[in-house]
Amino acid sequence: MKVAITGSMQSGKSTLVSAISGRPMPPPGSVAIEEVVAPVPDERLDWLTEIYQPKKTVHATIDCVDLPGLSFADEHTRAAARRLFNQIRTVDMFVIVVRAFDEEADFARSLSDIKTEFLLSDLELVTTRIERLQKQVNKPTSAQGHDKAELAIQLKLQEALEAEKPVSAAIKDETELELIKSLGFLTLKPVMVVVNVAEDRCGENIDLSSIVGPDVEVITLCASLESELAQLDTASRKEFMADMGITEPAAKRFVQSCYRTLGLISFLTVGKDEVRAWPIRKGTTAHDAAGKVHSDIKRGFIRAETIAYADMQELGDEKSCKAAGKVRLEGKSYVVQDGDIINFRFNV
Ligand SMILES: Nc1nc2c(ncn2[C@@H]2O[C@H](COP(=O)(O)OP(=O)(O)O)[C@@H](O)[C@H]2O)c(=O)[nH]1
Ligand SMILES: [Mg+2]
């Protein structure tokens, strides 16, 4: 699952990406599209690691795409932004970083510029698609029903976009979504906003709901502070945070929010070799979850021995969970819950 980090030039995108992934900072002015992997912080894994002392601990991860900065100053930079958007239509969500750490910041403007460009970019896409479909529906080779159905939806989307409404607001059900999903509309993707403030304001919660609406999650953080925190070892980090009066790095909250926004949850596996978090989409069945671990486990699936993390933490170990009747034997169709500790029984 890919998260695109976008926003104006010099808003702190690369600093944030480095803070969450441990990647070194790219050279200033870099225009590369760089993809990095960020582990998803998970206290449950920390606790289970204490208990099991495994050889290794594996976190769930998200892929972050660090993008060159956007500028809407003139036609030239606008066109560059548009080209960039067309290159990243396959990402799963956007994070917009706005610069609020100095006077120059005009983030209301920068947010509305980006929103407008997303809408225009999608309008361009839908218009091209409609022209194609209109030619196609009359051809004998046309998959008539399908093309007509799609054309009707695209016309509806065009109308919405012209009224400055996002595609996400115009799609009414799964059937419609299926027909247009592959086009990668930007305004169909979830968005999160990061307000990059100066160090002395990192404890604030800046309310942007009047600009971005009530449904967009907004996280206030100081990217340069997060990047310093990320470089410290656990003990010094704790000390540093105590001095600053903060209890956890904002970067942690940020990555966890991205994970949630992507619709992902984790199930956990434990053992002497490995304690691990496995990302799955909310609603995934035990049978499909087994397939994430190994195709053989899915093929030979018998049962998913499942302990809720809360039970494990309360009772302390597997044995006590068993004694208390907290180990459930779930079948293929069981819908896996966030934090389920699963031992798959299988036979191949
Ligand atoms: N004071 C301050 N400076 C920052 C912060 N985040 C980034 N910067 C500085 O702003 C400049 C641009 O940062 P960078 O992460 O490269 O921005 P990008 O162009 O959006 O990738 C660099 O000189 C950073 O050191 C911040 O939170 N506070
Ligand atoms: Mg950058």
Convert the pLDDT of each residue in 327-342 to its tens digit.
Answer: 999 999 999 999 999 9
Residue 18 or 214, more confident: 18
The 56-58 sheet, strands edge to edge? 56-58, 274-281, 264-269, 340-346, 301-308, 328-330
Return the pLDDT at 348.
86
Distance CA 283, CA 344 (A): 18
DSSP-H helix ranges across the chain: 13-21, 43-52, 75-87, 107-136, 144-162, 167-170, 174-180, 209-212, 223-231, 234-244, 250-261, 286-293, 295-299, 309-315, 318-323
Return the pLDDT at 30.
82
Q: Write the pLDDT tens digit of every residue in 108-134.
A: 888 989 999 999 999 999 999 999 999
pLDDT at 265 over 90: yes
Distance CA 196, CA 208 (A): 13
How many percent of the chain have pLDDT more than 70? 99
Ligand 1 shell residues, CB under 6 Å: 7, 9-15, 69, 101, 196, 198, 222-224
Domain ranges of the chain: 283-346
In this prediction, residues 45-70 reach a mean pLDDT of 96
In this prediction, residues 248-273 reach a mean pLDDT of 95
Q: What is the DSSP letter of 316?
A: -
Question: Per CATH, the architecture of 283-346 is what?
Answer: Roll (3.10)
- Tokens 């200033």, residue located: 28
Ligand nearest to the CA of 12: 1
Distance CA 53, CA 74 (A): 57
- Tokens 């039970």, residue located: 311
- d(CA 253, ligand 2 centre) in Å: 21
**pLDDT band (50, 70, 90) for residue 105:** low
Q: Which residues are 64's β-sheet partners?
A: 3, 36
Atom of ligand 1 nearest to the CA of 97: 20
10 Å CB burial of residue 263 (0-12, 13-18, 19+) is middle
SS3 content of the chain, % helix, strand, coil (to 5): 45, 20, 30
- d(CA 315, ligand 1 centre) in Å: 46
Atom of ligand 1 nearest to the CA of 26: 16
The 93-100 sheet, strands edge to edge? 34-39, 61-66, 2-7, 93-100, 191-197, 217-221
Averaged pLDDT of the chain: 93
Return the pLDDT at 142.
66
pLDDT at 164 over 90: yes
pTM surpassing 0.85? yes
pLDDT at 185 over 70: yes
- d(CA 10, ligand 2 centre) in Å: 7
| 82, 117 contact by CB (below 8 A) | yes
Return the pLDDT at 26.
87
Distance CA 36, CA 11 (A): 18
Return the pLDDT at 217.
92
Distance CA 126, CA 156 (A): 10
- Tokens 């989307």, residue located: 157
- Tokens 């160090």, residue located: 199
Return the pLDDT at 103.
75
